[in-house]
Amino acid sequence: MILIKDLKSLNEIEINELITGIGIPKFRAKQIFGWLCKGVDSFDEMSNVPKAVLEKIAEDYYISYVTVERKFVSQIDGTVKYLFRLCDDEFIESVVMKYKHGYSICVSTQVGCRMGCRFCASTIEGKKRDLTAGEILSQIFTAQKDLNIRISNIVLMGMGEPLDNYDNTLKFLELVSGESGLNIGMRHISLSTCGVVDKIKKLEQLKLQLTLSISLHAPNDEIRDMIMPINKKWRVNELIEACKSYINTTGRRISFEYAMIKDVNDSDDCAKQLIKLLSGMICHVNLIPANQVHKDKFERPDTKRVYEFEKILNSGGINATVRRTLGADINASCGQLKGKK
Ligand code: SAH
């Protein structure tokens, strides 16, 4: 499994090169890429391609897939949370949410995470491995098949840090937005990062039209140092400078995530510091009442405090809203994704 590669992660040009490189007629490449675009999970499904051809490819390639290990459906709002099994028996989670404008999926990019944010469940056992582009895609295909729906929006906000798996995430973005594939446009995709500044700068150069979400969670280094180890590497001002540059280059608004944690980052003073930090930027602040994943740490403030905080930001000229909670009865919210298997 380690030496052979995921066929599902290849684009059309790479499939062409592979096919002609092993002496197979070129028209087979089109057939094979066509099957991959349909989301097949095995060579057996490629019914119009001769077995000998497939066997030849399978010497160096496998086809990744995810299967539904468990499925939880919210009785409140129909949100579906999946525990998916990968082909090496690792587990990841994805969440499908229904909005007025269609279905949105929250996908994972790694098995576990090594970023160590203190309030987040995905990082508790560290990172096991990166997902391939094909495995990120498979989460969408499998959910679509299982629910008999079409997904129209994607958020890269499940387990893992997308920018810590940069190449595979970028490959996924290319494949999922491709016309012959799922054809989900960049404007329907959000990528969330805890603030891997060197990769934000790299991404900026590509001028993609996706929405970049920054998990900020604190208005200063003192608080951010306490809850997010990444802040030791890149300080708040370096992150904000990178964001300003990103907005300038791409012309896209940035979305800041701010998980509100009682007595940690929810004071009036924090709100005022946040106004100062973000003033003049084309951005939006998403306030997420923290979901408690540790028994006695990182509680959410009461609802009144959350809305007071929102009000301070808005009156200071910062566009802020409180994020609606979906799937509350199935632990589907941010930071609670962790295979209990
Ligand atoms: N690694 C990426 C994406 C995955 S986390 C990132 O950090 O952005 C998706 C979002 O959920 C992030 O904003 C993250 O900070 C937030 N989150 C994690 N744990 C949370 C919790 N317990 N309560 C609320 N939000 C949480």
Which ligand 1 atom sits nearest the alpha carbon of residue 292? 22
| pLDDT tens digits, one per residue of 228-254 | 999 999 999 999 999 999 999 999 999
Stretches where the chain sits below pLDDT 50 are 1
DSSP 165: G
Place of tokens 């990769």: 199
pLDDT for residue 334: 65
Q: What is the pLDDT of residue 340?
A: 56
> What is the residue with the minimal CA distance to atom 26 of ligand 1?
335
| pLDDT for the residue numbered 1 | 45
Cα(334) to ligand 1 centroid in Å equals 5
Residue 286: the pLDDT is 97
Specify whether 334 is catalytic: yes
Domains of the chain: 5-62 (1.10.150.530), 66-330 (3.20.20.70)
DSSP class per residue in 205-273? HHT--SEEEEE---SSHHHHHHH-THHHHS-HHHHHHHHHHHHHHH-PPEEEEEEE-TTTT-SHHHHHH
Q: Is 178 exposed, middle or buried (0-12, 13-18, 19+ CB in 10 A)?
A: middle
Note the pLDDT tens digit of each residue in 23-49: 999 999 999 999 999 999 999 999 999
Question: For ligand 1, what atom is nearest to the CA of residue 119?
Answer: 22
d(CA 205, CA 208): 8
- Determine the pLDDT at residue 195: 98
Residue nearest to atom 11 of ligand 1 (CA): 334
Kindly give the interhelix angle for 166-177 and 133-147, rounded to the nearest 10 degrees: 40
Q: Which amino acid is at 51?
A: K
Catalytic residue among 93, 135, 204, 310: 93
Closest approach atom of ligand 1 to CA 213:
8
Q: Let me know how long the chain is.
A: 341
Ligand 1 center from residue 256 Cα (angstroms): 11
Neighbour-count burial of 4, counting CB atoms closer than 10 A to its CB (0-12 exposed, 13-18 middle, 19+ buried): exposed
Identify the residue whose tokens are 């951010």.
Answer: 224
With a Cβ cut-off of 6 Å, ligand 1 is lined by 115, 117, 119-120, 157, 161, 192-194, 215, 257, 259, 288, 290-291, 293, 334-335
CA distance 308 to 268: 9
**pTM score of the predicted model:** 0.96
